[in-house]
Amino acid sequence: MQTSITWRRIARVFLPFAAGYYLSYLFRTINALIAGHLSSDAGLGTADLGLLTSVYFLVFAAAQIPVGILLDRFGPRRVQSSLLLVAATGAGLFAVSTSFLSLLIARAMIGLGMAAALTAGLKSIILWFPRDRVALLSGYMIMLGSLGAVTATTPAEHLLTWMDWRQLFEILAVATTATAILIYVVVPERGIVPSTAGGTLSAVFGDRRFWRIAPLSATCVGSAWSLQGLWASPWLTDVEGFDRASLVRQLFIMSIVLSGGAWLFGMVVHYIRRRGIGAEIILGTVTVLFIAAQLALILRAPLPSTLSWSVVAIVGTATVISFAVIADYFPPELAGRANGALNVLHFGWAFLAQYAMGLVLEQWPSEDGHRSVVAYQVAFGVNVGIQIAALAWFTLPWLRSIASWMSSTAFFMPANVSEAVDTVFYEVSAVFTDEGAEW
């Protein structure tokens, strides 16, 4: 009986929201495939293309807090189905737009309509499934959703041999409308328990643990989204010299890795938490690998670019880790607000990174429609520098532990060296860690 109930919940709750997230990922990454068509049809420059693609993230980020509040108040069923209709309208408008402004408005509407795609799914998991299964099911949801990125590569490329990109967006508009209806009709209602413990945004933004993890999660996940969603394509074309077939194949590989990464992170987080290990350790490890992969690209290390770009892709699913951490920090009745608050930073950074890279690239002249390697190295390098700073902030509590350990072993050092090291570590960690910072 319990098994049948579980499968019924998966069919009526989990899968409909996974379908909505699938569309979100497809819309997020499709511009990487049709960038050339957009540039030629609408006469878009590099900065215009960056703004057009990244406005999705900007509107998405701006909507996260209101969406989180609405999810906590009205539940994921009504919120998600309503917003998907907005996205369907935006997709239809995008299909018929001929000017940059109308394309920008349409893309913004799609971003608004997809603003609850992930958080609504996570909220439904928290409401309908046991707490010890949240990380695992979140990983599965992001894995299924990220198949939208797979669809936005080779499958969409095949469709474009039969139709143009405008007809493709007409199909997406119809599919989004159908998904909105599916969620509204199939997903059952679930009573929302009012928060009794500081159920406002101040409970989230006032938590020091949130501000320790949020900058690192945002700069890594947001950067991975911005790279895969747009800048991987011109890098592979201008720097690696890929032709169209090779480019689509590389994007396809990245999207497959992206989907597998969500499943992997979900499984890893699920099992290490059962052993009492915090998911923060995994997030820090993933960040180090992400920075190393980007540096390998920037420095033109003698490694297959597929390896580095696969790491970039898999980091886009590190939200599984971040949301698992957030689920431990806050009660279920604050899940919508907490996830929404973190997503503000995820998508806000994705917008800034995606748009800023376009601006940086335009500082170098274009030769035969291609930017120089140096332009990409500078654009990517600035982003990596900020990620390193966020990693340093994240690891500062461990610096204090190191300082304590060094103090305990001070007799092995000359007195003046021991005192200087201890003073530096103590003062730095006292400023930035929970015990010493005034937030």
> pLDDT tens digits for 29-76?
888 888 778 877 777 777 788 888 888 888 988 888 888 888 888 889
Asked whether the CA dihedral 123, 124, 129, 133 is positive or negative, the reply is negative
Which two structure tokens, joined as six digits, stand for 195? 């928060």
Residue 168 has pLDDT above 80, yes or no: yes
Residue 403 has pLDDT above 80, yes or no: no
> What pLDDT score was predicted for residue 42?
72
Residue 196 has pLDDT above 50, yes or no: no
Residue 143 has pLDDT above 80, yes or no: yes
> What pLDDT score was predicted for residue 419?
52
What is the Cα–Cα distance from 46 to 359, expressed in whole angstroms? 8
Contact predicate 59/112, CB 8 Å: yes
On the CB side of 254, CA atoms within 13 Å amount to 31
Residue 315 has pLDDT above 60, yes or no: yes
What is the Cα–Cα distance from 255 to 5, expressed in whole angstroms? 33
What is the Cα–Cα distance from 388 to 390, expressed in whole angstroms? 5
By three-state DSSP, how is residue 370 classified? strand
Structure pTM?
0.70
Domains and CATH numbers, the chain: 10-183+205-432 (1.20.1250.20)
Residue 146 has pLDDT above 60, yes or no: yes
